[in-house]
Amino acid sequence: MTDKKASTDYPIHELLAERWSPYGFEDRPVAQADLRSLFEAARWAASSFNEQPWSFFVATKENPEEFARLLSCLVEGNQGWAKAAPVLVLGVVSLKFSRNNKDNRAAVHDLGLAAGNLVVEATARGLCVHQMIGIVPEQGA
């Protein structure tokens, strides 16, 4: 982590003020126990009808083939810095409710909340997360 802290206009929780999105990462693995806790935090995010319409694809450098596959889903500009991260995660959503196959207009919002929980948990564990949208979804198919 870093000593960077947001200069807020009003007091906010320390974990939120300490969160930041680096483009550089240390060359060290993230403990499996920490990864499990990050996704447990995401799992407990509120969602419309408790649908939890998200899934996460996770690749670590300990599995170079999967890491390269997930890295290939990023636009070239993001690949340049993300290749140094020890873990890559791709969050996806189902846009239909599983119970009735109707449109779930809250799905993307719900994924955002799950990702927010994950980021706060990461910050609490001294880990940094850099979220991005620059992906090429059909690349990893």
pLDDT of residue 4: 77
Least confident interval from 12-26, 44-58, 67-81? 12-26
User: With bands split at pLDDT 50, 70 and 90, how would you rate the model's confidence at 29?
Assistant: very high
**Interval 60-88: pLDDT, tens:** 999 999 999 999 999 999 999 999 999 99
pLDDT of residue 27: 85
Among all chains, which residue has been given the structure tokens 């109707």?
102
pTM above 0.85, yes or no: yes
pLDDT of residue 2: 54
pLDDT of residue 1: 53
CATH class of the domain comprising 14-140: alpha beta
User: With bands split at pLDDT 50, 70 and 90, how would you rate the model's confidence at 141?
Assistant: low
pLDDT of residue 16: 93
pLDDT of residue 26: 86
In the predicted structure, residue 137 carries a pLDDT above the cut 80: no
